[in-house]
Amino acid sequence: MSATPSASEPEDQEPGERAAEAESGDAGDAGDAGDAGDTGAGPRSRATSQEKQQKGASHAPTPTGAPAARPAGLQITEPKPVRTATLWAALAAGVLSMLLLGEGIGVNLLIVAVPVTLAAYFAAMTAGRRPRAWTLVWGVGGLALLTVPALRDASWPSFLAVVAAIGAGSLALHGGRGWLAVLLGPIGVLTAVVTGPAWAWEGLRQRSGGLRERLGPVLRALAVAAVLLVVFGALFAAADSAFADLLGALVPDVSVADGPWRILLLLLGLGGALAVAYIAAAPVHWDRIEVPEGRARGRVEWSLPLIVLNLLFAAFNAIQLAVLFGGYDAVLEKTGQTYAEYARQGFWQLLLATLLTLLVIVLALRWAPRTRSGDRTLVRGVLGTLCALALVVVASAVRRMDMYVEAYGLTRLRLSVLAVELWLGLVIVLIMAAGVWGARWLPRAVAASAAAGVLAFGLVSPDGLIAERTVQRYEETGVIDLEYASGLSADAVPALDRLEEPLRSCALRAVAADLDERRLPWYAVSRGETEARRILDERPVSTQSDTVECERLGNEVMYR
């Protein structure tokens, strides 16, 4: 049984730690199996591993500003004293959060992310860490995900993008290539919210004497600059209205009433940046956690249930192929169902079947026989067949959703679950590839595919795509769900603008009213909202399209 290096990659360790590990012969292998059937922790005994971890822990220095007690083998680096550059970057992140994040999210997320990234970079350089290929992949991917709120007005793809960016950022900070690093990395970000500020406070206390002398001139210079900006800015604004408008657009509108909210944003931005810097200085190596290996089962006990499941999948897929080539009319006539009912009935069951198939594969790998080469061949054959048959189930589910969309139109829920089904199909393909080339890269590949999928989902503009299909369906059938179309975000305006009047004004009336009430500064406005405003300024909605008229028109075009 072979083992691969753990997620605690050498590039994430201190140079001294790498030398110590080389002397002790402990390379930190945690057991990502190179073979699809190998899930063990390697040939070393658990007792030997624990002795080495305890020995290393006895010589490790007490962390600065952090709890002394940690699970054995989890934290292998200790944070060095915080750098002044890290503190300045964290302070900049807090101030920018206070000034820019109060009105909403847009390009301001990317602006705040710059000093946060710098804080992590300075802390990592102090700790002796150097960026590697996967670190750059996760870091650049996380920043790319933060472009979605700047481009799209819809909140749901932006929320998914921010969550995915946090996950990608945690992998960039912690490192790791195993499932534990992928799944538990974000937890380390949450725990560092407490340890990060404590680490920074301890560093400030240690350098407080010399810091006062260095900070004095800087603070006086900033105070003088602020006074000059306020005085001359006020004079220039009073002298020229165009300059006053420009100044009003660039400077955030901060009032006394929202003072507590701004202070909270300052603390959140500062604490978040310090947490990120702390992780960069002392990453948690989640892959060092030892997961008990499942007891291998006998060939018959393990393979017989899966062979029976494969036969069931094969029978179902044979029927699906017969329906596909024989036509749906005969099936609908026999079952008495409509075209849409047949599609709706099957999709959700097939989506659940795909999820359960992945669960079966995970459990089967845990209990798979793996003592001989014949066992590994059996694992590849049985699970490979199950994966191939599951791909046919995925294709059938996608086809049924396509039928459902043809009958009833595209919605946010239908588009979302279709995207999830396609991603699950990709995961199955990756598992099949891991059975051939080894599973060492599989956790990071699955995580990267999820992040890439969320990014692509946001960039294609889901609301814009839904509106495009809605308008296309109306042009072909004369049927449109006007009430649903009017509830879409500003991203849908370019497509809905193609509708004829008074349908166009009824579909855009709610969006136009929302944009009239929502006057946000430039840093909290998305590109989708800017484009929608331009279109509505060129072609305003008709004032004759009131609620009663639009409701009557909606019922008319819905049930033609």
Nearest-5° Cα angle at 116, 114 to 119: 110
What is the C-alpha separation between 377 and 384, in angstroms, rounded? 10
- Give the gyration radius of the chain's Cα atoms: 29
**pLDDT of 24 strictly over 80:** no
Q: Residue 177 has what pLDDT?
A: 81
What is the C-alpha separation between 317 and 345, in angstroms, rounded? 16
The residue type of 376 is R
The residue type of 404 is Y
- pTM value surpassing 0.85: no
Nearest-5° Cα angle at 190, 260 to 63: 110
**pLDDT of 32 strictly over 50:** no
Q: Residue 21 has what pLDDT?
A: 37
pLDDT, the chain, mean: 77
The residue type of 56 is G
Task: Please report where in the chains the tokens 């680096």 appear, as a residue.
Answer: 77
Token pair listed for 314: 């094969």
Segment 4-19 mean pLDDT: 37
Residue 378 · residue 299 · CB < 8 Å: yes
Segment 20-29 mean pLDDT: 34
**pLDDT, tens digit, 9 for 90 and up, residues 463-492:** 999 999 999 989 888 888 888 988 999 999
Q: Residue 118 has what pLDDT?
A: 93
Q: Residue 255 has what pLDDT?
A: 52
- Helix, strand, coil percent values for the chain (each to nearest 5): 75, 0, 25
Return the minimum-mean-pLDDT range out of 240-254, 414-428, 442-456, 473-487.
240-254
What is the C-alpha separation between 348 and 420, in angstroms, rounded? 12
Q: Residue 110 has what pLDDT?
A: 92
Segment 415-439 mean pLDDT: 89
**pLDDT, tens digit, 9 for 90 and up, residues 121-167:** 999 888 888 878 888 999 999 999 999 999 999 888 999 999 999 99
Any residues with CB less than 8 A from the CB of 181 and at least 6 apart, and which?
A: 7, 171, 174, 175, 285, 286, 287, 443
Segment 92-101 mean pLDDT: 90
Range from 33-47, 298-312, 485-499 that averages highest in pLDDT: 485-499
Q: Residue 7 has what pLDDT?
A: 34
**pLDDT of 94 strictly over 60:** yes
**pLDDT of 507 strictly over 60:** yes
Residue 136 · residue 154 · CB < 8 Å: no
Question: How many angstroms from the chain centroid is the CA of residue 28?
Answer: 28
Task: Please report where in the chains the tokens 């962390």 appear, as a residue.
Answer: 63
Percentage of the chain modeled with pLDDT above 70: 76
Nearest CA-CA partner of 522 in 258, 334, 245, 259: 245
**pLDDT of 31 strictly over 50:** no
**pLDDT of 254 strictly over 80:** no
**pLDDT of 297 strictly over 70:** yes
**pLDDT of 12 strictly over 60:** no
Q: How many residues in total does the chain contain?
A: 560
Token pair listed for 532: 């929608």
Percentage of the chain modeled with pLDDT above 90: 22
**pLDDT of 535 strictly over 70:** yes
Q: Residue 77 has what pLDDT?
A: 65
**Which has the higher per-residue pLDDT, 302 or 138?**
138
Any residues with CB less than 8 A from the CB of 81 and at least 6 apart, and which?
A: 64, 202, 203, 206, 207
Task: Please report where in the chains the tokens 């534990």 appear, as a residue.
Answer: 180
Return the minimum-mean-pLDDT range out of 270-279, 293-302, 328-337.
328-337
Longest dimension (CA), the chain: 89
Residue 284 · residue 188 · CB < 8 Å: yes
**pLDDT, tens digit, 9 for 90 and up, residues 196-222:** 888 888 877 776 655 556 666 766 777
- What Cα–Cα distance (Å) separates residue 73 from each residue in 38, 41, 79, 246, 406? 22, 14, 16, 56, 55
> 516-537 burial, b if ≥16 CB within 10 A, otherwise e?
eeeeebebbbbbbbebbbebbe
The residue type of 173 is L
Token pair listed for 186: 């974000």
Q: Residue 214 has what pLDDT?
A: 64
Q: Residue 162 has what pLDDT?
A: 93
Token pair listed for 516: 């009239």
What is the C-alpha separation between 142 and 146, in angstroms, rounded? 7
Give the pLDDT band of residue 524 (cuts 50, 70, 90): confident
Strand partners, 32: 4
Range from 58-62, 85-89, 282-286, 407-411 that averages highest in pLDDT: 85-89
Q: Residue 25 has what pLDDT?
A: 33
Q: Residue 168 has what pLDDT?
A: 92
**pLDDT of 353 strictly over 70:** yes
Nearest CA-CA partner of 390 in 458, 473, 279, 314: 314
| Coil/strand/helix, residue 210 | helix
Q: Residue 289 has what pLDDT?
A: 74
Task: Please report where in the chains the tokens 């964290």 appear, as a residue.
Answer: 90
Q: Name the burial class of residue 468, with classes exposed (0-12), middle (13-18) and buried (19+) by CB atoms within 10 angstroms of its CB.
A: middle
**pLDDT of 534 strictly over 50:** yes
**Which has the higher per-residue pLDDT, 343 or 97?**
97
**pLDDT of 86 strictly over 80:** yes
**pLDDT of 532 strictly over 50:** yes
Question: How many angstroms from the chain centroid is the CA of residue 173?
Answer: 15
